Amino acid sequence: MTTAVSSPEIRVRSYRRGDAPAFRSLNEHWIAKYFRLEDPDREVLDDPEKRIIGAGGAIFMAVAGDTAIGTCALLAEGDHVYELAKMAVDEAWQGRGVGRKVLEFAVAEARGMGARLLKLESSSKLKNAIHLYEAVGFRHLPPERLHPSPYERADIFMEMEL
C-alpha cells in the first residue's frame, strides 16, 4: 500500500520578529546566484526592521508549515507610492506558484496601506520574474520616465497604478 505524503500548506503572512535571518538568506541566495550583493542590498538586509518597516514599509513571508520559503517587501517612497522589492522564493519551491502568491498578497496589502502606485526595478536576466510582474499588472516604464537606480543589475523599470 502506498501512502501519499501531503506537502504543507503555503501561507503568506506579515513579517514577524525573528524573520530577519530568513529574509536575508532568501534574498542573498538569489542575488548571489545571478548577480553580486551590492551596498544597497546590504543596507536593507542588515536591518530590515529599521530600513523597511520602520520607514513605513512592510515585509511579507511565504511559509510552508513553519519554514520560510519566500518573501517580498514594500519600501515606502512617500505620497502613497511604494517600491516592490526584495522578492525571493527558495529554489526548491520555485515553479509552484509561491512567487505569484507572495506578489498578489503584497499588492493587496499595498492597496490596504493606501498605496496609489507600486514601482519596481528588476533585471532583464530574470525572465520569469518579469513575466510574473507583467501578468499581475505591472507595466514597463517608457524611456523618458526612467530614473537612475542604486543597483547595477537594474535595467527593467515597471509600475502599477492601484
pLDDT at 148: 86
| CA 142 and chain centroid, separation | 22
The mean of the pLDDT values for the chain is 94
pLDDT beyond 90 at 15: yes
d(CA 11, CA 2): 28
pLDDT in tens, 137-157: 999 998 777 788 999 999 999
- Select the CATH number that applies to the domain covering 10-161 from these four: 3.40.630.30, 3.40.50.720, 3.90.226.10, 3.90.1150.10: 3.40.630.30
DSSP 8-state assignment for residue 10 = E
What 3-state class would DSSP assign to 161?
strand
pLDDT at 147: 81
130 within 8 A of 140, measured Cβ to Cβ:
no
Of the pLDDT bands very low, low, confident and very high (cuts 50, 70, 90), residue 110 is very high
Q: For the chain, state the CA radius of gyration.
A: 16
Of the pLDDT bands very low, low, confident and very high (cuts 50, 70, 90), residue 22 is very high
Q: Which three cell numbers stand for residue 162?
A: 492601484
pLDDT beyond 90 at 20: yes
18 within 8 A of 1, measured Cβ to Cβ:
no
Element of type H or E holding 86: strand 81-89
pLDDT at 71: 98
Of the pLDDT bands very low, low, confident and very high (cuts 50, 70, 90), residue 8 is confident
Domain range list for the chain: 10-161
Q: Which residue do the cell numbers 496609489 mark?
A: 116
Which residues have C-beta within 8 Å of that of residue 136, sequence separation ≥ 6? 100, 103, 104, 107, 160
